[in-house]
Amino acid sequence: MNVRHTRAVFPGSFDPITNGHLDILDRALKVFDEVIVAILVNSEKQALFSVAERVEIIRAACRSRRRVRVDTFSGLLVDYAVKAGASVIVRGLRAISDFEYEFQMALMNRRLDPSIETVFMMPAESYSYLSSRMVKEVFRLGGDVGALVPPVVEKRLRERAAALRSPLPATRPRLPRRRKR
């Protein structure tokens, strides 16, 4: 019997992961046997959370999802997919505004490696406006993001905000003690 095991890559910046991403991930898990959430290591992009923090956060958010793996990648996505043994790239498509960029990326990836198929999935309507950028902005301006991100992300955002509010006291350089006269 030929048992096919389909592994998909769900790539992105995930800075931070949102409930919209998790919605897509759950849809992908209905179709594919295993999904790798692959975080792009991009030194050019100014991120709120480091790649190591994002790995930790996503692992915590996906603890109950058994067929999910979290990994990082740099370089071409199709090269990573081949190396990881994945034949599918999953991307979420929220609105028409996403379409052009996603279309270009999917066609470029197909040109680079025709053996990798891109599959688009639509999130629940309630997440169609949601993005990591908006979550960060709403949180920064004091809005409630509790329904938009998993609890671990809200906790990390609060911790990050608290750390920024109370930076560690600057250590004073020690001056040489003056000799008593």
Which position among 52, 108, 138, 161 is part of the footprint of ligand PNS (CB under 6 A)?
Answer: 108
Can you tell me the distance from the alpha carbon of 122 to that of 18, in angstroms, rounded to the nearest whole number? 14
Stretch that binds ligand PNS, among 102-110, 141-149, 153-161, 162-170 (CB under 6 A): 102-110
Q: Let me know if 64 is a catalytic residue.
A: no
59 in catalytic set: no
The answer to whether residue 30 is catalytic is: no
**Using CB atoms, what's the residue nearest to ligand PNS?**
12
Site for ligand PNS in 47-86 (CB under 6 A): 76-77
Q: Which is nearer to ligand PNS, 108 or 124 (CB)?
A: 108
CA atoms within 13 A on the CB side of 178: 2
Specify whether 132 is catalytic: yes
Token pair recorded at residue 148: 């938009």
Residues in region 118-157 near ligand PNS by CB under 6 A: none
Residue 153: exposure state from Cβ atoms within 10 A (0-12, 13-18, ≥19)? buried
- C-alpha neighbours within 13 Å on the C-beta side of residue 128: 9
Residue showing tokens 């919209």:
20
* # residues contacting ligand PNS (CB under 6 A): 9
Q: What is the pairing mode between strands 34-40 and 68-73?
A: parallel
Residues of the shown chain interacting with ligand PNS in the complex, contacts defined by CB under 6 A: 11-13, 40, 76-77, 105, 108-109
Q: So which residues are the catalytic ones? A: 21, 45, 94, 132
